């Protein structure tokens, strides 16, 4: 055991040499190398140890005893035997020995994070850093460094420097080289997904089929080497906050129905558990770490997972992020909540012109929820049609038809409105025969229609007449539709009718057209703006 603690482990096979990082390890008298597990700290130090004169000492739990650590460090350096000495006398003896003239020495101390919470040992190590001569260099490595007295001053004076995950992460070129050494062909996806995390790349590449097996090997590693090594309370906290993509104390407390998240998040940050801190203080976990934690919670406590996702949805909805709320509601599988949030989110996305995003949401929404919100599908279809994507429009409008069929008393009017929009979308697609059949059906139903359905039918027929270059019928239809929609309080649709009227005037009477068109356009804009007000 003593030999193992004083010798570097073997390099992994294959290994990608990191010459620029070896240079960086010479950057100051004290180099602090901190990164999450799997970033290659120990491998880099082993490569360094093999390339020059250095002493090695791997810490373990027994080194939380100052006498044990001191004796171990002295043994690693080839110094005086200190077994049985008190820590104070032992430290003095070691410092005296190191003061003697000799060649430059470098002491590599690995797994320094294991000393966290042991004040006496940390003080002792800090003393060694500050009281040994400049010819003695230290490389301290670990997931994080505990508070070491004197280290801050060394940093200020330029005698200490830091290397972190950002330095150790593989570049795209590094990843491809490592994949080559592993006998795997070039695969950008593996680099993207790993985010430069070397262990993740290696373990994902080792899976027989990346698509089929995903990062199973990596997740086994995280389960046993990382999560399993944490205290039970910290494990539970991490698993549960993983329902949130970004970690902040207040939403964590609210979602988990507890207090104390702020302190727990500080511990996570200090422990370098695959998180980066945003400027606002929130923590952003590595995507693979988040995926792993979520998967664990889903497997271990599916009901709790859905409950927490639902809580997160309610928090986001309350704080105005409808899209985030919808994402959580979908993960919770709460159909009622999805239904409520979808209408709100769709309206916002349509007004912002983010139709691709809207379609992404609709695609992942369960069919039975979509059938419950046919009006959302009609709005989505119409927005896509107007954006020049009629084939996409047809898909969602036909989905709305199914929804309206089971929509009680509102269903029949909704069906006629959906048919109106389908007629125009099919016309846009050049499917004239079907579009004409739909228009004939709308014409046949116009006399018996009422309210919004009747106004929409008039507007559709007006647009159809305009396409057929029948300006008189079109103008009459637009005017009647605008009037009816105004009376019904349908301000955005009224704007659409006025826009049609303006466009007609622009073509027919060049002198008058622009004014009418501007009026219609301005009115539609006003309506859109007003409709976004609380």
Partner 1 sequence: MHQEVAALFDLQLHTTPNTLLMDVAGPLGREGGEAISTAVQAQTPLPRHLVLNFTRTGTISTAGLGGVLWAVRLVTKAGGRVSAFGLNDHFRKVFHVMGITQYVGLYLDEAAAMRGEGA
209 sits near partner 1 (criterion: CB under 8 A): no
Please tell me whether residue 110 adopts helix, strand or coil conformation. Answer: strand
**Closest separation in Å from C-beta 401 to partner 1:** 5
232 near partner 1 (CB under 8 A):
no
* Exposure b/e, 13-25, CB count within 10 A at least 16 = b: eeebebeebeebb
CB of 393 to partner 1, least distance (A): 12
Give the residue, chosen from 402, 429, 479, 480, that forms a contact with partner 1 under the rule CB under 8 A.
402
Q: Does 380 bind partner 1 (CB under 8 A)?
A: no
Identity of the residue, 239 or 442, whose beta carbon is nearer to partner 1 in the bound complex:
442
Examine residue 445 and tell whether it contacts partner 1 (CB under 8 A).
Answer: yes
Q: 402 vs 488, which CB is nearer to partner 1?
A: 402
User: Does the footprint of partner 1 cover residue 459 (CB under 8 A)?
Assistant: no
Distance CA 389, CA 233 (A): 51
Residue 339: C-alpha distances to residues 313, 358, 366 (Å): 13, 14, 10
Please select the residue that binds partner 1; options are 131, 147, 164, 441, rule is CB under 8 A: 441
SS3 content of the chain, % helix, strand, coil (to 5): 70, 5, 25
DSSP label at residue 28: S
Q: At what angle do helices 302-318 and 335-352 cross, to 10 degrees?
A: 40
Examine residue 430 and tell whether it contacts partner 1 (CB under 8 A): no
| Site stretch for partner 1 (CB under 8 A), options 63-71, 83-91, 161-169, 432-440 | 432-440
The answer to the question of residue 434 lying near partner 1 (CB under 8 A) is yes
Report the DSSP beta bridge partners of residue 139. 31, 108
Q: Which long-range contacts link 338-346 to residues 24+ away (Cβ below 8 Å)?
A: 338/365, 338/366, 338/369, 339/369, 339/372, 339/373, 341/313, 341/317, 342/369, 342/373, 342/376, 343/373, 343/375, 343/376, 346/376, 346/379, 346/380
Does residue 406 interact with partner 1 by CB under 8 A? yes
Kindly give, in sequence order, each residue whose CB lies less than 8 Å from that of residue 429, ignoring residues fewer than 6 positions away: 390, 391, 394
- Tell me which of 138, 292, 404, 478 binds partner 1, using CB under 8 A: 404
Q: Does 412 bind partner 1 (CB under 8 A)?
A: yes
Binding part of the chain for partner 1, among 5-13, 63-71, 146-154, 436-444 by CB under 8 A, reads 436-444
Least Å distance, CB 480 to partner 1, is 20
423 binds partner 1 (CB under 8 A): yes
CA distance 40 to 499: 63
Scanning 23-31, 233-241, 414-422, 490-498 for contacts with partner 1 by CB under 8 A, the matching segment is 414-422
The rounded Cα 267 to chain-centroid distance in angstroms is 21
Nearest-approach distance from CB 458 to partner 1, in angstroms: 16
401 binds partner 1 (CB under 8 A): yes
Q: Is 94 in the site for partner 1 (CB under 8 A)?
A: no
As given in the structure block, the two tokens for residue 446 are: 């116009």
Of 381-389, 444-452, 483-491, 502-510, the window that binds partner 1 (rule: CB under 8 A) is 444-452
Among residues 389 and 395, whose Cβ is nearest to partner 1? 395
Token pair for 202: 């290696």
For residue 197, what are the contacts with CB-CB under 8 A and spacing of at least 6? 36, 38, 39, 169, 170, 274, 286, 288
Is residue 231 a contact point for partner 1 (CB under 8 A)?
no
Give the interface segment with partner 1, choosing from 29-37, 100-108, 264-272, 441-449 (CB under 8 A). Answer: 441-449
Quick one: which segment of 6-14, 56-64, 86-94, 412-420 binds partner 1 (CB under 8 A)? 412-420
281 binds partner 1 (CB under 8 A): no
- Is residue 375 a contact point for partner 1 (CB under 8 A)? no
Selected from 10, 173, 299, 444, the binder of partner 1 by CB under 8 A is 444
DSSP class of residue 531? H
Of 416 and 505, nearer to partner 1 (C-beta) is 416
Looking at beta carbons only, is 162 or 434 nearer to partner 1? Answer: 434
Closest approach of partner 1 to the CB of residue 463, in Å: 16
Shortest approach of partner 1 to residue 402 CB, angstroms? 7
**440 lines the binding site for partner 1 (CB under 8 A):** yes
DSSP string, 365-405: S-HHHHTT-HHHHHHHHHHHHHTT-HHHHHHHHHHHHHHHH
CB 339 within 8 A of CB 372: yes
- Residue 91 binds partner 1 (CB under 8 A): no
CA angle 383, 384, 388 (to 5 degrees): 115
Among 355, 426, 455, 517, binds partner 1 (CB under 8 A): 426
Candidates 111, 145, 108; CA nearest to 126 is: 145
For binding to partner 1 (CB under 8 A), which residues are involved?
398-399, 401-402, 404-406, 411-412, 415-416, 418-419, 422-423, 426, 433-435, 437-438, 440-441, 444-445, 448
């Amino acid at each position: 055991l003593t030999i193992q603690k004083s010798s570097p482990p073997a390099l992994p096979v294959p290994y990608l040499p990191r010459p620029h990082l070896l240079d960086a390890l010479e950057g100051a008298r004290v180099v602090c190398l901190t990164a999450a597990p799997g970033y290659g700290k120990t491998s880099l130090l082993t490569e360094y140890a093999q390339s020059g004169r250095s002493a090695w000492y791997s810490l373990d739990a027994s080194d939380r005893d100052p006498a044990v650590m001191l004796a171990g460090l002295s043994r690693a350096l080839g110094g005086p035997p200190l077994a049985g000495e008190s820590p104070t006398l032992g430290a003095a003896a070691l410092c005296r020995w190191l003061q003697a003239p000799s060649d430059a020495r470098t002491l590599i101390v690995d797994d320094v994070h294991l000393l966290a919470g042991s004040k006496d040992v940390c003080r002792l190590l800090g003393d060694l850093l500050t009281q040994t001569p400049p010819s003695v260099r230290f490389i301290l490595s670990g997931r994080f460094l505990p508070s070491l007295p004197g280290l801050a001053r060394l940093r200020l004076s330029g005698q200490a420097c830091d290397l972190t995950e950002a330095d150790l992460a593989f570049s795209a070129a590094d990843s491809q080289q490592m994949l080559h050494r592993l006998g795997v062909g070039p695969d950008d996806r593996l680099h993207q997904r790993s985010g430069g995390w070397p262990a993740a790349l290696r373990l994902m590449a080792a899976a027989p089929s990346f698509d089929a097996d995903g990062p199973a090997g990596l997740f086994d590693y995280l389960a046993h080497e990382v999560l399993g090594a944490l205290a039970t309370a910290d494990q539970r906290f991490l698993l549960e906050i993983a329902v949130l993509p970004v970690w902040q104390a207040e939403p964590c407390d609210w979602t988990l129905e507890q207090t104390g998240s702020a302190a727990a998040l500080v511990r996570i940050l200090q422990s370098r558990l695959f998180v980066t801190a945003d400027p606002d203080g929130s923590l952003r976990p590595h995507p693979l770490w988040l995926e792993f934690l979520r998967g664990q919670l889903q497997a271990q406590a599916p009901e709790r997972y859905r409950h927490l996702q639902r809580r997160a949805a309610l928090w986001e909805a309350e704080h105005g992020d409808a899209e985030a709320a919808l994402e959580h509601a979908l993960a919770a599988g709460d159909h009622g909540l999805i239904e409520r949030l979808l209408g709100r989110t769709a309206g916002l996305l349509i007004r912002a012109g983010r139709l691709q995003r809207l379609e992404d949401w609709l695609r992942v929404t369960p069919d039975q929820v979509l059938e419950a919100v046919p009006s959302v599908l009609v709005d989505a279809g119409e927005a896509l049609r107007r954006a020049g994507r009629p084939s996409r429009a047809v898909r969602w409008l036909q989905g709305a038809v199914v929804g309206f069929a089971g929509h009680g008393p509102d269903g029949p009017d909704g069906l006629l409105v959906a048919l109106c929009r389908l007629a125009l979308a099919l016309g846009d697609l050049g499917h004239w025969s079907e579009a004409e059949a739909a228009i004939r059906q709308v014409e046949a139903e116009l006399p018996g229609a009422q309210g919004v359905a009747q106004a929409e039918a008039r507007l559709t027929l007006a647009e159809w007449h305009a396409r057929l270059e029948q300006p008189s019928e079109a103008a009459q239809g637009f005017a009647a539709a605008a009037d009816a929609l105004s009376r019904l309080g349908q301000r955005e649709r009224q704007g659409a009718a006025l826009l049609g009227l303006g466009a007609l005037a622009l073509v027919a009477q060049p002198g008058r057209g622009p004014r009418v068109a501007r009026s219609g356009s301005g009115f539609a804009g006003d309506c859109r703006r007003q409709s976004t007000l609380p």
